[in-house]
Amino acid sequence: MSATQRRGRRIMMSDTERDAYLTGQRTCRVATVSAEGRPHVGALWFVWDGTSLWLYSLTRSLRRAQLLRNPGIAVVVDDGVEYDELRGVELSGEAEFIGEVPRTGEICAELELPERMFATKYFGLDTLPHDSRHAWIRLTPQTVTSWDFRKAVGP
């Protein structure tokens, strides 16, 4: 095993650390690919329920149009300025569209938890106000990579 691999394991977040990190962060970067293979990356708010990342995206966005053609998606949540502060999580897999499009608030059991979490996290509310411009995308990741370079500091 190389030194890089050993360091990678040393700086990897535990499941508990990853869940706390994803729950506390506010903005992610979402990568999609056009039919011609051109990448697109955009920032978006999200919530993490411990299993899936929930993205509340405009229905008339390039992101959504690309995901309708190719559901492959990668998301990065990261922070830090100095090298020894860098930490983050990359999640990838296939996007799933959940609920009506655009979201108007029809009863959808799958959306009860993410909508409550989103309303609290971003608006300080108990219920999510629906604007008929957004829809939900769920990413239940097939791969997850994490890093926390604060762990590399020290003896």
d(CA 76, CA 146) in angstroms, rounded, equals 10
Look at residue 72 in the predicted model and tell me its pLDDT.
96
Model confidence band, residue 8 (pLDDT cutoffs 50, 70, 90): confident
Count of the separate structural domains present in the chain: 1
pTM of the predicted structure, to 2 decimals: 0.91
DSSP 37: S
Instruction: Tell me whether residue 101 is in a domain.
Output: yes
Residue 138 to residues 1, 91, 134: CA-CA distances in angstroms? 35, 12, 13
Instruction: Tell me whether residue 103 is in a domain.
Output: yes
Instruction: Tell me whether residue 90 is in a domain.
Output: yes
Instruction: Tell me whether residue 31 is in a domain.
Output: yes
Instruction: Tell me whether residue 80 is in a domain.
Output: yes
Examine residue 129 and say whether the peptide bond preceding it is cis (omega within 30 degrees of 0): no
For 44-62, letters b (16+ CB in 10 Å) and e give bebbbeeebbbbbbeeebe
Look at residue 7 in the predicted model and tell me its pLDDT.
54
Residue 22, domain CATH:
2.30.110.10
Look at residue 154 in the predicted model and tell me its pLDDT.
61
Tens digits of per-residue pLDDT, 112-150? 999 999 999 999 999 999 999 999 999 999 999 999 999
Instruction: Tell me whether residue 153 is in a domain.
Output: no
Tens digits of per-residue pLDDT, 26-53? 999 999 999 899 999 999 999 999 999 9
Instruction: Tell me whether residue 154 is in a domain.
Output: no
Look up the domain containing 143 and give its range: 3-148
